[in-house]
Structure 1
Amino acid sequence: MLWARCSQSRYGNEITGRPRWREVHPSRQRECMEELRCQVCVQQSSRTALGYLFLAAQQTDVPADGWEGHLTAQPPLCLEHAKAAVEQCGHLVRAGAVTLRVRVPRLYGVIGTLYRTGPDGEPEPVEFDGESATTPLPYKQRQLTPWFLASQLVRELRGVTVVDLDDLVPAA
């Protein structure tokens, strides 16, 4: 898979700056999703017997089996930064946050840009309408889509338990 590149603000080996909740850096997102690290501090995410700690935006159309099989491009979090995300991430503040413990966060695929050969023989992005531009490309289909520039790694959440974040924080 070809991955998008962009610069990072680093001081030595430390990433500097404040979290930009809306603009997740592709390299950092990939690293945190691959290694199941906190997306804010890049340290070990919170993990218990119930699984890793993920946040999701509240949805009105949650299926009957709940969050089982939910696809996410949001890396897990440590307890400290989960609380900060619920308070500071505009999307989670507006929609409401759901706290999930996930036993099996399986690698699923990627989100990115599909390209095709243009009339001049150069690559050009394929334009999509609506949500299809953010629909993940499953890894099992990547051989069928050779001109794909990935920007976010996606995991499928299995073994999901909905928990209350307020109950988790004091225990930390």
Structure 2
Amino acid sequence: MLWARCSQSRYGNELTGRPRWQDVHPSRQRECMEELRCQVCVQQPSRTELGYLFLATQQDDRSTDSWEGHLTAQPPLCLEHAKAAVEECGHLVRAGAVALRVRLPRLYGVIGTLHRTGPDGRPEPVEFDSESARTPLPYRKRRLTPLFLASQLVRELRGVTVVDLDDLISAAGALRARP
């Protein structure tokens, strides 16, 4: 799998700048998804016996038990940055966020751009409608798709429990306040 590359703002080994919620950096997204790290601070995400904390965009046609098997390109989060995400991330603010605890976030595939060999022998991107362009390529089909430039890693969420983010944050605050 070929991976898209782009520059990062770094000071030494530290990333700099504020989170740009809409613009996911390909290598940071990949690192956080592969290692199950918080997508903002690249530290350990929130994890309990119910699993890792993921956020998803609220969808009207989903009931609380229908998140099993959900595909996501959004890495897990620590509690601090989950709170920031629901307050600052545009699509989560507009549509609403659902907090999910996930026991088994399985690697599924990638999102990217399919290429074909052009008339001059060079790769050229294949144009799709916007929905098809966001459809992940499962890893099991990667050998059938030799010219694919990946930009986001995708996980399939298994063992999903819908949780209340405010309750998680309150409980964490109560634990810290104990003497």
| TM-score normalised by length of structure 1 | 0.98
| Corresponding position of 1:103 | 103
- Give a deviation string over 1:116-152, Cα, whole Å, max 9, x none: 0111111100000130001000000000000000000
| Corresponding position of 2:59 | 59
Instruction: State the AA in 2 paired with 1:92.
Output: L
- Give a deviation string over 1:68-111, Cα, whole Å, max 9, x none: 00000000000000000000000000000000000000000000
In structure 2, the residue corresponding to 1:60 is in which secondary structure?
coil
Q: 2:62 and 2:131 mapped to 1: Cα distance?
A: 17
Give the percent of matched residue pairs that are identical in Structure 1 and Structure 2: 86
Q: Which segments of 5 or more consecutive residues in structure 1 lack a partner in the other structure?
A: none
In the TM superposition, residue 63 of structure 1 has moved relative to its aligned partner by 6.3
Instruction: State the AA in 2 paired with 1:123.
Output: P
2:57 paired with 1:47: no
In structure 2, the residue corresponding to 1:34 is in which secondary structure?
helix
In structure 2, the residue corresponding to 1:44 is in which secondary structure?
coil
Q: 2:119 and 2:157 mapped to 1: Cα distance?
A: 41
| Corresponding position of 1:81 | 81
In structure 2, the residue corresponding to 1:33 is in which secondary structure?
helix
Q: Post-superposition, which runs of at least 4 consecutive aligned residues in structure 1 deviate over 4 A?
A: none
2:27 paired with 1:27: yes
| TM-score normalised by length of structure 2 | 0.94
Q: 1:10 and 1:58 mapped to 2: Cα distance?
A: 33
Instruction: State the AA in 2 paired with 1:79.
Output: L
Q: 2:43 and 2:64 mapped to 1: Cα distance?
A: 34
Quickly say closer, same or farther: Cα 1:95–1:64, change in 2 above 3 A: closer
In the TM superposition, residue 66 of structure 1 has moved relative to its aligned partner by 1.0
Give the CA RMSD over aligned residues.
Answer: 1.0
Q: 1:134 and 1:66 mapped to 2: Cα distance?
A: 21
Quickly say closer, same or farther: Cα 1:11–1:65, change in 2 above 3 A: same
Does the 8 Å contact 2:64/2:162 carry over to 1? no
2:117 paired with 1:117: yes
In structure 1, the residue corresponding to 2:158 is in which secondary structure?
strand
In structure 2, the residue corresponding to 1:159 is in which secondary structure?
strand
Instruction: State the AA in 2 paired with 1:154.
Output: V
Does the 8 Å contact 2:65/2:162 carry over to 1? no
Q: How many residues align?
A: 172
